[in-house]
Structure 1
Amino acid sequence: MIPACLSDDWSFCPEREDLSAEFTRLLTAAQEGGATIAECLMIARHLKQADEPSWHREWKKLAHANRQRAEAAFAEGHMATAQRNWLRAMNYYSAAAMPLDLADERRWVAVLAMQECARRFLSARRPAGEVVTIPWADDGHALQGYFLPAPSANGRAPTVICIGEPGHRKEEFLFKLAPHARERGFSMLALDLLGEQRDDYVEALLQRRDLESSIASAMDYLETRSDVDFDRVAIVADGWGSSFVARAVLQEPRIAAAVCDGGLWDLHERSFFASRFAMSDLSIVPVPHSPLMASSAECPVLITLGEDGWLKADRARRIVQKSQPSNSDIALKVFTAAETGAAQAHADNPSLANEYIFDWLESQLGASARRI
């Protein structure tokens, strides 16, 4: 039986796109261990439609239950069960925080609980992960990351930096991307731009004109680690609008491979303004920085998008094809509705997209000697 707050197509609260999108994210997270479908449907039955207080209350309650199970399993030495429950608790705390105002104290309490679950997960993992602080800005603001060593602790391993948009927190990467990295023998640095700041700090981040410099800081940090093969460091910009990562790729010759939007959105904006104002010379249309596809990248770049996303696939193909004479190292993969993964940022099936992405990275970086 479909819960009352779900429509026939399994969308949650059609009048609230934000809650529907978050519910979809939670269901797809079940594929990677960030939720269970049964728990999500149970909560849907308890929720009042489009009611933010009940949304926050029910997901927080479920997060707490998973956290308690994790602690009990850890106390009895059942590390696998403890890790699984901490990952789910972490994700449910994130869901509880989602609809609240950025400055709401309840949101910060949920974020702190989510981060504590992430730290507990890292400590129980083998090899154990680390919480790392990376200096970035002159004003003292630092990046915060989770470093997850490759399954083989011997020697230097290829490493993938995973980062989202300003305001996106890194904890989701622990279940969404870390298993793909681990299975291919990669270490992973999960990173966000918020550092130790509250979510409302995103307003200050969006005013910065040097977001791409954060990637250089991350590379500086990785260069100091004796367990990182610095000739094989790649970056994955999770979420599609990742032009600040594309700009970093232009400026950072130490990156061996990149998965991002390739500056596609910047080029799309330039073309839109040109057509809107009947400009024949695209170069005079202002964009924040030079798009990656208009320049020569130092490393191979993969762009993935869904055909049902914000930018139409045919338009993306034309932009990429036009760039090919100047840069042949840019590849485009479009996921169709027939195969799923076709939604914006592959929200309907991120597992399928991430398998493709990490297979591509494995081809670019090579696999380590030992995998689990």
Structure 2
Amino acid sequence: MTTFFSARPHRALSKGFYRSADFDYEVRGLLGAVAYGAAEAGEVLATVDDVADGDHDHWFRAWHDLGSRVRAAADEEAAAGRTVSASMAYLRSSTYFSVAVNSVSGLQSDEQLLPTFRLQHSAWERFVDTTDRPIDRVQIPYEADHMPGWFLRSGVHPGPAPTLVMVNGSDGATSGLWTNGAAGAVARGYNVLLFDGPGQQSMLFERGIGFRPDWEAVISPVVDFLLQREDVDAGRLALYGISQGGFWVARALAHEHRFAAAIADPGVVDVAASWNANIPSPLMTLFRSGKKDAFDRDMALGMRFSPTTARTWTFRARPYGTDSYFDTLTEVHRYRLTSEEAARITTPLLVTDPEGEQFWPGQSVRLADEAGGPTEVATFTAAEGANLHCQPLARQLTDTRMFAWLDSTLS
């Protein structure tokens, strides 16, 4: 007897895990983090198996509970002296808590934000304590204060080593940078500097310090700090920015020229484009006409019919330090790189350009075209499993291409 099988394709990559774009993207990012030990595929799939699409309360509880369970297991391993297992579990716990932190945007109250962030941050710090990677906690002078950072020493070079400065996105966790380049850099003999800048993680949640568009005011103190270290090769400094960090990197490079190479993952020249695309055109007409009262009134009316959207707006607006809808959108529009500024970028630049970029489509090529120095575009496709913003399911492939270019450029 001949058995005939259905010719229907699986479509797991294209159809995704949830209809909710946010839920689906989080799952993709978590599965991508498995490659560097920052998540476990079984833990991720078992967690989402019981969470319905759009159930924000259950989504938050599920990741909070998973982070707590893995943290408890990590503590047990650490107490028994099994530091390798403990370190791996602390890293996973931090990753899961980071999902819970971001999911507070879908809750009716943000009272869980700070305590959940502190759980995430604590798990990361315990990873730093228990990993066999040499990591120094550092304080980077910034204005009248400092920015917290973590300097990952390569442990390979006997003398000064090439050093990668990593800039996070608008809502990324420090543990996320481990997956998105830091682990790959250290394995290849690079020092890595991770830090919380204005509007990011501890700077925002614990100090109330918000974003700023002029990121050169952040990056130049970072360079000054690194050049004081004997284990940093001043001639082989590289800068990397992920997600909205792609804008901050580009903006900084227009003014700070001490880097030998830089990577924007992806290229971002107009942050507001991702906001504008989600606002109805009649409202955008009011905004562009400067009709603040009418814009705020109509936005408030619309938000009453979509409480989830209202909560997401509040969460996303927090780092910009504004009150009204109009003022927030006005502030976001300051995060734009002009053609004249882009032309002042002389640092060799690699720009990733994933197929299906959801937030800033076309901006990677635009940055590459307008930059004044040598620029290369790294294209990623769905056929490679490397589509969507920041290639969430293809971080090893991203590292392969990124470090091939970086090694060649710094040599």
TM-score, normalised to structure 2's length? 0.73
Instruction: Pick closer, same or farther for the CA change 1:176–1:287 going to 2, 3 Å.
Output: closer
* Deviates further, 211-220 or 257-266: 257-266
Distance in structure 1 (CA, Å) of the matches to 2:216 and 2:406: 21
The correspondence of residues 1-372 of structure 1 with structure 2, limited to 5 A, is 11-14=16-19, 16-101=20-105, 104-138=110-144, 140=145, 142-152=146-156, 154-193=158-197, 194=200, 196-199=202-205, 205-206=210-211, 208-239=212-243, 242-260=246-264, 265-266=269-270, 288-291=336-339, 294-310=342-358, 311-312=360-361, 317=365, 320-321=368-369, 323=370, 327=373, 329-366=374-411
Residues 263 and 293, structure 1, Cα contact 8 Å, conserved in 2: no
Distance in structure 2 (CA, Å) of the matches to 1:8 and 1:179: 27
Q: CA deviation at 1:293?
A: 7.6
Residues 246 and 261, structure 1, Cα contact 8 Å, conserved in 2: no
Q: Over residues 253-275 of structure 1, what are the superposed CA-to-partner deviations in whole Å (9 max), with x where a residue is unaligned?
A: 21111001696534997xx9xxx
Residues 71 and 93, structure 2, Cα contact 8 Å, conserved in 1: yes
Distance in structure 1 (CA, Å) of the matches to 2:83 and 2:187: 19
Residues 144 and 195, structure 1, Cα contact 8 Å, conserved in 2: no
Q: CA deviation at 1:176?
A: 3.1
SS state of the match for residue 137, structure 2? strand
Instruction: Pick closer, same or farther for the CA change 1:104–1:340 going to 2, 3 Å.
Output: same
Q: CA deviation at 1:292?
A: 7.5
RMSD over aligned Cα atoms: 3.2
Residues 250 and 342, structure 2, Cα contact 8 Å, conserved in 1: no
Q: CA deviation at 1:332?
A: 0.9
Residues 227 and 234, structure 2, Cα contact 8 Å, conserved in 1: yes
Residues 256 and 365, structure 1, Cα contact 8 Å, conserved in 2: yes
Q: CA deviation at 1:302?
A: 0.4
Distance in structure 2 (CA, Å) of the matches to 1:347 and 1:165: 14
Distance in structure 1 (CA, Å) of the matches to 2:272 and 2:53: 37
Residues 243 and 266, structure 1, Cα contact 8 Å, conserved in 2: yes
Q: CA deviation at 1:112?
A: 0.9
Residues 385 and 394, structure 2, Cα contact 8 Å, conserved in 1: yes
Instruction: Pick closer, same or farther for the CA change 1:71–1:24 going to 2, 3 Å.
Output: same
Report the AA paired with residue 136 of structure 1.
Y
Residues 33 and 84, structure 1, Cα contact 8 Å, conserved in 2: yes
Report the AA paired with residue 379 of structure 2.
V
In structure 1, the gaps of 5 or more residues are 1-6, 278-285, 367-372
Residues 226 and 232, structure 2, Cα contact 8 Å, conserved in 1: yes
Distance in structure 2 (CA, Å) of the matches to 1:334 and 1:8: 22
Q: CA deviation at 1:127?
A: 4.2
Residues 303 and 331, structure 1, Cα contact 8 Å, conserved in 2: yes
SS state of the match for residue 147, structure 1? strand
Distance in structure 1 (CA, Å) of the matches to 2:155 and 2:240: 20
Aligned residues: 339
* Deviates further, 82-91 or 59-68: 59-68
Distance in structure 2 (CA, Å) of the matches to 1:133 and 1:195: 15
Q: CA deviation at 1:352?
A: 1.5
Q: Over residues 27-83 of structure 1, what are the superposed CA-to-partner deviations in whole Å (9 max), with x where a residue is unaligned?
A: 221122111111111111232432222212221221122112222222333222111
